[in-house]
Structure 1
């Protein structure tokens, strides 16, 4: 149960601060950051929300820039393998070909049961600016975006269409990545507008217990 004290944050800020605070117990008993950093290629879908939040927490959660989405996802997978699946890295991309470049890496992580947190930008939940540059969607299905490609190649998938949904979705994603039986890639699709929506975030969410 979370306490009653809250702080006003955007969804992206809450996500980044939770990731930065997560710790896991090492074999020697010390606590280490669960997430080693966030591989990022910024563009339409993730720069204004997640990009700003990562900049604010850059001292606690490193942001690593890359030039190819599939390559940075493979680097995150290698990090998880080198750490015996006990630590992860996150990966974020824009909503278009950038997101689809992550699908092959997600499939690789899936079949090898290696944890990686995929955070692709998604179409505006409000659908007010529609479409935006490089956005990929199905014109015959208004609720479908390119990120639905991740459903069959991840162990857990969710689309955050309200900021408060993060409070249950992110811990579920972490639970999957740390479960010996379920371990594998997870995907939280982040609509562009929802990333920047503010909500009353419980302070307990920003101080998670060690894993």
Structure 2
């Protein structure tokens, strides 16, 4: 069963990567068929198998030898690992993590992501709460975005702020402190020379780490 769950998760990671990349290039998700972005050679079916194809190809296109971004491989491995913890009691947090995983892939490529992913994540975090709590959180989120839109030079994205709110609702303030510390540390270590970065992928990696530690 764990192997099947891993396969499903890795496929979701592969799909999310393709979706984010095609959105960056303003391409349809359905057309054209998967191909090398450098030489445009269509990929064969065996070259589309998550994880396996990256390893067999040694991370390069068979035709032009252009390196394949390792983001795809990492997303497939993390997606598969996450889904091995799926059961009747964990479907909610895993759905929440998967939702923000898709947002992280978009953020990595474009430093933006579809707003509806944030709303789905927030809805999952509010699952089981009373309507009063829903209204309060929606008001806080709307106010937060309104204030952000009037920030002359934002130093953080509003998507990051929405992730903070969603994580705090899902896991609590104490867990949130550990989560932010690890995410910020990873971002500083990996991007020491970068003035602008996509922060949501680091938030997502930190969230996955703490989830797997707890599982």
TM-score range, shorter chain: 0.3 to 0.5
**Which protein has the bigger strand share?**
1
Bigger relative contact order, structure 1 or 2 (CA pairs below 8 A, ≥6 apart): 1
Q: TM-score, normalised by structure 1?
A: 0.34
Q: TM-score, normalised by structure 2?
A: 0.33
**Which protein has the bigger helix share?**
2
